[in-house]
């Protein structure tokens, strides 16, 4: 058996070599000719898996070690009887943590207080539900939009999109659906951007085309939106002009935690074992985190305490600085640079790895930190 795997999949050889020959390739170099002799294919998000890629091959299993499936032609796989598995939810905590790291940078920069702010969450699946839970624990007034869940549950918790867009902070955690009742392609375009209040915070770590990037570029300037973008239309060829208008920009790495990537591999490994009716004998061993103790000595406002802790674990300003170098690179090489930033990314560790020592007892802060999965000592 031959298995072609994106070389960005963590522990790929260790996990899958027991089944046969493993060939690692960069995601954009996985082509039809390379797949001709493959029995299985395991990708990440930058490989389009469709008839063009798989026609004439003997691939019978496809796995994506990512949460999204917009790069997968599911109808084609079904028509051809090709088994499929995704890693939905594998990096949900990582993306939620990325959102709050970015948000608290802006709260401190602009002197904003949680008690004055409404947080609007568009999409309440694996990631969005975590954002809701963490946000409510921190004290935000949280509004939620999710039409599929509204239909399924009938709950009054789920509001119309136009209502949620009235929030002070708006974050997107939806899949990219092109067409249909739950279309999310250009879900946010000029008519929706007009509804958003001046100076609102907009953060997108879902998929780039969820927001019309051209319209967003216009309205950032018209309405003074404070914008954080991890995802972009036409990746890896991103709009550098839009990047320069953001508060923070990053190269589609919101979910790039060590735990998230390993979770993705393990989920696809388990699915492949099920496909082969083989025993699950591989369990990843994660490295421990050095310097995992954070000591908080001062009794600061909640916003400042959380910002201090979050930024000591993940400094989003470093990623922002790295991606902005793309403006100094010739157009022909910008796509390569974007991919390189992702491929060589220094995977961060999730909050659950860290111990927080509160020198001064603070019940409110301790409760919030526990909700964010920190181990609190006081």
Task: Determine the Cα–Cα distance for residues 137 and 372; give it in Å rounded to an integer.
Answer: 8
Alpha-carbon distances of 147 from 154, 184, 203, rounded to whole Å: 10, 11, 20
Helical axes 92-110 vs 316-324, angle rounded to 10° = 90
Both tokens of 244, joined, read: 């320069």
Which whole-number Å values give the CA distances from 224 to 103, 133, 197, 216, 328, in the listed order?
16, 28, 9, 11, 25
8 A C-beta contact, residue 268 and residue 42: yes
Dihedral of alpha carbons 146, 68, 346, 227, sign: negative
Q: Is the Cβ–Cβ distance between 267 and 85 less than 8 Å?
A: yes
Residue 224 falls in the annotated catalytic set: no
Distance of CA 160 to the CA centre of its chain: 24
Residue 21 bridge partners (DSSP): 2
How much is the CA Rg of the chain, to the nearest whole Å? 21
Alpha carbon of 217 to those of 128, 234, 243, 261, 293: distances in Å? Answer: 25, 15, 9, 32, 41
Say which of 233, 235, 247, 350 is annotated catalytic.
235
Beta strands in 174-225 (DSSP E): 201-204
Whether 252 sits among the annotated catalytic residues: the reply is yes
Catalytic residue among 44, 130, 173, 252: 252
172 within 8 A of 161, measured Cβ to Cβ? no
Q: Judge if the upstream peptide bond of residue 341 is cis by omega within 30 degrees of 0.
A: no
Q: What is the rounded distance in angstroms from the CA atom of residue 63 to the CA atom of residue 57?
A: 16
Contacts of 120 (CB under 8 A, 6+ apart): 142, 143, 144, 145, 164, 165, 166, 167, 169, 170, 171
Dist CA 359 CA 378 (whole Å): 6
* Residue pair 61/275 in contact by the 8 Å Cβ criterion: yes
81: its two tokens: 């009887």
**Of residues 207, 342, 348, 349, which has the active-site annotation?**
207
Angle, in degrees to the nearest 10, between helices 258-276 and 92-110:
160
Q: Could you list the active site residues?
A: 207, 235, 252
């Amino acid at each position: 058996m031959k298995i072609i795997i994106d070389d960005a999949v963590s522990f790929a050889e260790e996990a899958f070599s027991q089944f046969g020959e493993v060939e690692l390739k960069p995601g954009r170099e996985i082509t039809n000719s390379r797949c001709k002799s493959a029995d299985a294919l395991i990708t990440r998000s930058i490989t389009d898996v469709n008839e063009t890629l798989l026609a004439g091959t003997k691939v019978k299993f496809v796995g994506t070690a990512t949460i999204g499936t917009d790069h997968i032609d599911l109808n084609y796989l079904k028509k051809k009887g090709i088994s499929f598995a995704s890693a939905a939810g594998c990096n949900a905590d990582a993306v939620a943590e990325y959102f709050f790291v970015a948000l608290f940078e802006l709260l401190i920069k602009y002197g904003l207080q949680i008690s004055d702010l409404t947080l609007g969450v568009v999409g309440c699946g694996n990631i969005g539900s975590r954002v809701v839970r963490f946000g409510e624990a921190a004290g935000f007034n949280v509004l939620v939009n999710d039409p599929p869940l509204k239909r399924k549950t009938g709950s009054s918790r789920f509001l119309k999109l136009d209502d949620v867009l009235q929030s002070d902070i708006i974050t997107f955690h939806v899949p990219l659906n092109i067409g249909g009742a739950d279309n999310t392609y250009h879900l946010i375009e000029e008519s929706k951007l007009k509804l958003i209040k001046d100076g609102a915070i907009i953060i997108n770590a879902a998929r780039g085309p969820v927001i019309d990037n051209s319209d967003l570029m216009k309205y950032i300037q018209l309405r003074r939106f404070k914008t954080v973008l991890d995802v972009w239309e036409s990746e890896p060829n991103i709009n550098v002009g839009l990047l320069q208008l953001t508060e923070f920009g990053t190269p589609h790495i919101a979910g790039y935690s060590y735990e998230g990537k390993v979770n993705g591999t393990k989920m696809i490994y388990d699915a492949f074992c099920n496909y082969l009716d083989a025993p699950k004998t591989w369990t990843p061993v994660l490295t421990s985190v050095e310097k995992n103790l954070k000591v908080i000595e001062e009794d600061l406002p909640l916003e400042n305490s959380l910002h201090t802790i979050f930024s000591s674990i993940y400094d989003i300003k470093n990623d922002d600085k790295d991606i902005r170098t793309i403006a100094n690179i010739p157009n022909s090489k910008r796509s390569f640079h974007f991919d390189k930033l992702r491929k060589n990314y220094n995977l961060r560790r999730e909050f659950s790895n860290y111990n927080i020592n509160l020198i001064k007892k603070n019940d409110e802060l301790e409760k919030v930190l526990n909700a964010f999965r920190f181990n609190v000592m006081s």
